[in-house]
Structure 1
Amino acid sequence: MKEFIIKQHRPRVEELLAQYRIVIGDDFEGYRNHVYRTVTYAMNFLDNDPSYEQLVETAFVYHDIGLWTDHKLAYLEPSEAVALADNKKHGWGLEESALVGAIHWHHKIFSYRGEHERLINACRKADWIDASMGTIRKGVSRGNIKKVEATFANCGFHKTLMRLAKDYGGSTLVGGILVTKGIVKL
């Protein structure tokens, strides 16, 4: 059985998130820890291959950012646009189709097939684990999920999502429907 690795500090994540600290505001710690949890799961699905690390970290920093930058429940495209703009502005040289794919398909219910399949499915499975608070495990043991959650506390992240659904949708129910229609892919 391979070792499940949890990196407690990721300089790239810290650097990229820092530029959005004010925009994210009081939700920052919850979102930061969500990013760390999802990056941890995705990197373990990718056997902690360092060739994926920069892209996975970047994709997860930006995957939900449109909630705060654009104040929209259909936040995939706004998140993709911010990621692509920063990729160009900062000259990171990340492959655009991989970056957009990891963001665009991270709520896909069924396996993704196509270009960057391994990367996109790792990110997709990672987000489902965290979005479900470990109810959906995608092959990760309960013990490893508990370790990840203990390392990176929730800090109200899932409550934040419910609050934003209500704030942007007018009610939690309407917001939940709008979110589902806007971001969940089959």
Structure 2
Amino acid sequence: MQAHPVIDEVLARHRAALGPDEQTYRNHVYRCANYQRALLGGELPDAAALAWAVHDLGIWTAGTFDYLAPSAELGDQLAAGFGITDPELVRTMVLDHHGLRARSDPLVETFRVADRVDVSHGVLRGGIDAGFAAQVVARFPYRGFHGFLVRSALRQAVRHPTRPLPMLRW
């Protein structure tokens, strides 16, 4: 999947907030969406596409590395406009995507695993074929994504040493 109307529209609306990180974030979103689609073995539901578009967006729109709640709120605000009738599912995917434990809902769980595949640079593939992952990365290169994560985490740890990784959930 190289394009999705929900993802493209949300990212276009937030182009200014993303600034120079727009392509880096877009590539992360599309890598993850492709991994989830493969894990699901079919098409990506619009609810998942919206969740991918907003899942980390609060980093830029709210200016914080404690971004899960602001990102979930964006999903809440946008769901009806895309005809998504279960905004709570979008919210759950966003809020639980850094969960340390497996989730019982298959859509939420594949969302969590797909993000982990990308954040781990493909080391933790969660059932994704290595060749497929390499094709996805070739189409949507990292463009400094992991460096951005490390710099952001270090800034967070310095500013909030008691909450260095606020996005992790049990």
Q: Determine if the TM-score, normalized by the shorter chain, exceeds 0.5.
A: yes
Paired with 2:27 and 2:40, the residues of 1 have a C-alpha distance of 20
Counterpart of 1:134 in structure 2 is 122
Compute the displacement of 1:32 (Å). Answer: 0.1
Whether 1:185 and 2:169 are equivalent positions in the alignment is yes
Q: Partner amino acid for 2:46?
A: Q
Match for 2:28: what amino acid?
Answer: H
Note the C-alpha offset of 1:131: 0.5
RMSD of the TM alignment (CA)?
A: 1.9
Equivalence for 1:92: 83
Q: CA deviation at 1:40?
A: 0.4
CA distance in 1, matches of 2:162, 2:40: 32
**TM-score w.r.t. length of structure 2:** 0.91
TM-score, normalised to structure 1, is 0.84
Contact 1:125 1:138 in 2 (8 A): yes
Structure 1, unpaired ranges of 5+: 1-6
Q: Which amino acid counterpart does residue 167 of structure 2 have in structure 1? A: I
Q: Distance in 2 between matches of 1:176 and 1:151?
A: 37
Q: Is the 2:33–2:49 contact (alpha carbons within 8 Å) kept by the matching residues of 1? A: yes
Distance, in Å, in 2 between the alignment partners of 1:46 and 1:37 is 14
Take 2:57 and 2:9, find their aligned partners in 1: how far apart are those partners? Answer: 15
How big is each residue's C-alpha offset from its partner over 1:142-164, in whole Å with a ceiling of 9 and x where there is no partner?
11111111111111112222233
3-state DSSP class of the match of 2:84? coil
Q: Is the 8 A contact 1:76 1:103 kept in 2?
A: yes
Count of aligned positions: 170
Give the alignment partner of residue 41 of structure 2, picking from 19, 38, 47: 47
Paired residue for 1:11, among 2, 5, 10? 5
Question: What per-residue deviation string (whole Å, max 9, x for no partner) do you get for residues 36-63 of structure 1?
Answer: 0000011111111x4x421111100000
**Matched residue, 1:23:** 17
Cα deviation, residue 13, structure 1? 1.5
Deviation, structure 1 residue 126: 0.1
Conservation of the 8 A alpha-carbon contact between 2:7 and 2:49: yes
